[in-house]
Structure 1
Amino acid sequence: MIKGRCECGSVRFEVNAVRQTVTVCHCSQCRRTSGHLWASTHAPFDSVKFTSDSGLQWYASSTTAKRGFCKTCGSSLFYRMNDEDGIGIAAGCLEDAGDMAMGKHIFVADKGDYYPVPDDAPVFRQG
């Protein structure tokens, strides 16, 4: 069982398994909500069990997706498309990510001007 949480612990969850690769999104929306980049793995939504969700707040960031964050400490935790059965989980909130590895960088065409194009995984100008 993989455990995850926000900084203050108001949101805690467990998930049986996550995708073993991390996708890093460089789009402007992900940069604004995370403070830099959004690095996430993925799992089926019904496999996520919340053990504490008193701080969990969902924000409709577009007409097609929402973001889950802790309303107490501000941790950016989840990304979920409205019509998808899965959920993006911030890689940094997992307590033991196991053998996860960098998988790809997406929306690099929108990356910030203050850092170079990454070269640690495949790069896609769009999603």
Structure 2
Amino acid sequence: MSDARTVHGRCLCGAVTVSVQVDNPILRACHCDMCRRHTSGMFISLATVPGTGAVTGPAQSFRSSDWAERGFCGTCGSTLWYGAIQEGARNFAAGLFENAADAPLKLEFFADKCPQGYALAGAHRKMTGEEAIAMFAGGSGGDA
């Protein structure tokens, strides 16, 4: 983990701050129904070193399913994270960090659910919902 660096982020109003370590900073976009409802678009997360997220301020979470929670600022409502409850893992929103921590987009989940009104350009991996569910069920995490 010698290449790890700490990046700092904040919500829209600044009441919640986040510090995480990144060693392979990549972005992952999710177009599943819940992510789109939560963010009014896709949810883009920054890959971080597991267990390094430190959150201060009025962060709250909403249990959105049997397996997941979604974090948000209790003051301004900014999206903070998607969390897998059983694993205790939090995938922090890329928008919290300046220039999304300079990370490139490497992976889209549920690309087959992407609305016709937008699409992400670039040569990155695009997984269907079926492929994403199979990957998560197999426990391979989601790094590109």
TM-score tier by shorter-chain length is 0.7 to 0.9
Establish whether residue 30 from structure 1 lines up as the match of residue 48 from structure 2.
Answer: no
Establish whether residue 12 from structure 1 lines up as the match of residue 17 from structure 2.
Answer: yes
Query: Which residues of structure 2 form unaligned runs of 5+?
Result: 1-5, 133-144
What's the offset of the Cα at 1:83? 1.4
Once superposed, what is the RMSD of the aligned Cα atoms? Answer: 1.8
The share of aligned pairs that are identical, in percent, is 30
Establish whether residue 67 from structure 1 lines up as the match of residue 70 from structure 2.
Answer: yes
Moved over 6 A (4+): none
Establish whether residue 106 from structure 1 lines up as the match of residue 109 from structure 2.
Answer: yes
CA contact (8 A) 1:26 1:108 kept: yes
Instruction: State the match for 2:46 in structure 1.
Output: 41
SS for the counterpart of 2:19 is: strand
Q: From the two aligned structures, give the one with the greater strand fraction.
A: 1
Say how many residue pairs are matched: 124
Q: Which amino acid aligns with 1:27?
A: C
Distance 1:110 1:84 in 2: 25
What's the offset of the Cα at 1:119? 3.8
- Greater length-normalized contact order (CA 8 Å, ≥ 6 residues apart): 1
Establish whether residue 124 from structure 1 lines up as the match of residue 127 from structure 2.
Answer: yes
Q: From the two aligned structures, give the one with the greater helix fraction.
A: 2
Of 43, 56, 60 in structure 2, the residue corresponding to residue 57 of structure 1 is 60
